[in-house]
């Protein structure tokens, strides 16, 4: 399975990118079943600073940054032969699956390159294969 993690500080930018991602017509989608965007919990980072540089150190200011995250899950879409026909077609099916995996891997790398080239500013991508 392939996981594509997307994160951003801007929620509107992230949602628009996810919508554009779903509207893409790329041959990679023929080899995978797409699930997502799956909403992941947002992470918050809080920073505290003293307002005055001289006195009144009890007067402080808090700033919070939120990191919004989504994940797309690609599951391989294999058309396996039924159990009755496996005995007769084992070698043909193995060759077919290997050819299908090769084209899938080539399409995946071109898909990854396309995504990285057209990535808007403010969004980061992370690819993970399990």
SS3 4: strand
Cα distances (Å, whole numbers) of residue 71 to 14, 78, 101, 107, 126 = 11, 22, 23, 20, 9
Predicted pLDDT at 39: 95
Reduced DSSP (H G I as helix, E B as strand, rest coil) percent helix, strand, coil of the chain, to 5: 40, 40, 20
Predicted pLDDT at 83: 47
C-alpha closest to that of 72 among 112, 113, 122: 112
Predicted pLDDT at 70: 96
Bridge partners of 45, per DSSP, are: 65
C-alpha closest to that of 45 among 5, 14, 9: 9
Predicted pLDDT at 99: 62
Q: Domains in the chain, start-ordered, CATH in brackets?
A: 2-129 (3.30.70.600)
> Is the confidence at residue 102, as pLDDT, over 70?
no
Please tell me the distance from the alpha carbon of residue 79 to that of residue 112, in angstroms, as a whole number: 24
Bridge partners of 39, per DSSP, are: 70
pLDDT digits over 3-59, tens only? 889 999 999 999 999 998 888 877 666 677 888 899 999 999 999 998 888 877 788
Predicted pLDDT at 119: 86
pLDDT digits over 49-101, tens only? 988 888 777 889 999 999 999 999 988 776 544 444 444 445 555 555 556 66
Are 30 and 90 in contact by the 8 Å Cβ rule? The answer is no
pTM passes above 0.75: no
């Amino acid at each position: 399975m392939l996981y594509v993690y997307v994160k951003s500080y801007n929620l509107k930018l992230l949602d628009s990118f996810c919508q554009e991602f779903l509207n893409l017509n790329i041959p990679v989608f023929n080899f995978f079943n797409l699930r997502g965007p799956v909403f992941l919990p947002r992470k918050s980072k809080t920073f505290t600073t003293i307002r005055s540089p001289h006195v009144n150190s009890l007067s402080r200011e808090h700033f919070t940054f939120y990191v919004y995250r989504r994940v797309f899950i690609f599951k391989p879409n294999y058309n396996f032969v039924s159990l009755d026909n496996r005995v007769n077609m084992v070698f043909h099916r193995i060759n077919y699956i290997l050819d299908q995996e090769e084209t899938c891997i080539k399409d995946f790398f071109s898909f990854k390159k396309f995504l990285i080239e057209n990535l808007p500013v403010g969004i980061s991508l992370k690819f993970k294969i399990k």
